[in-house]
Amino acid sequence: MSPYPFAVALLCLAAGVAAAADRLTWLTVVGDSGSATSDSVQIEPESMMVFSGLRTIRIRVSRAHERTGYDDRPYRSYIASVQIDCSNLSANFRQLELFRGPLWTGDARVLNYREADMPLMVFRDVQPNPTSRIVQAACSIERVQTK
């Protein structure tokens, strides 16, 4: 599937065309974002920042079942700041706010990473896995803007 329709939607939302000024707008990439019993991945297009070949964006994920975080502690959902490197089409977590409950509820903890230690953005066991779609769409923003 071409990343361009997704990139155009991302660009429009980032520009505020479809965004309400008084609340965050999350675009669901995979899953049912209102269900505590399914996996879902969302992006916050308005948070996209472009720095030459790098992009940053906020994502949030709710998992159907308890998972173990990079700190070896359980979580069910998280909000993350992601750095995307378009030169090698990779994405890494800069910061993770992990919640004990689904849909960003319950006790939370924050993990911050130095650039050399940022873990890869992966969505293990999420089908279809949206990693490459998110990266390609974010890196297509500049091409869409200049067409």
Question: Which domains are present in the chain?
Answer: 4-146 (2.40.128)
Q: How many Å apart are CA 38 and CA 121, to the nearest integer?
A: 19
Q: How many Å apart are CA 86 and CA 54, to the nearest integer?
A: 6
Is pTM beyond 0.95? Reply is no
Each of the 147 residues of the chain gets a pLDDT tens digit; together they read 455 455 555 554 444 444 444 457 999 999 999 999 999 999 999 999 999 899 999 999 999 999 999 999 999 999 999 999 999 999 999 999 999 999 999 999 999 999 999 999 999 999 999 999 999 999 997 654 444
- The 10 Å Cβ neighbour count of residue 16 is 12
**In this structure, is the dihedral angle defined by the CA atoms of residues 72, 84, 102 and 112, taken in order, positive or negative?**
positive
Q: How many Å apart are CA 3 and CA 81, to the nearest integer?
A: 21
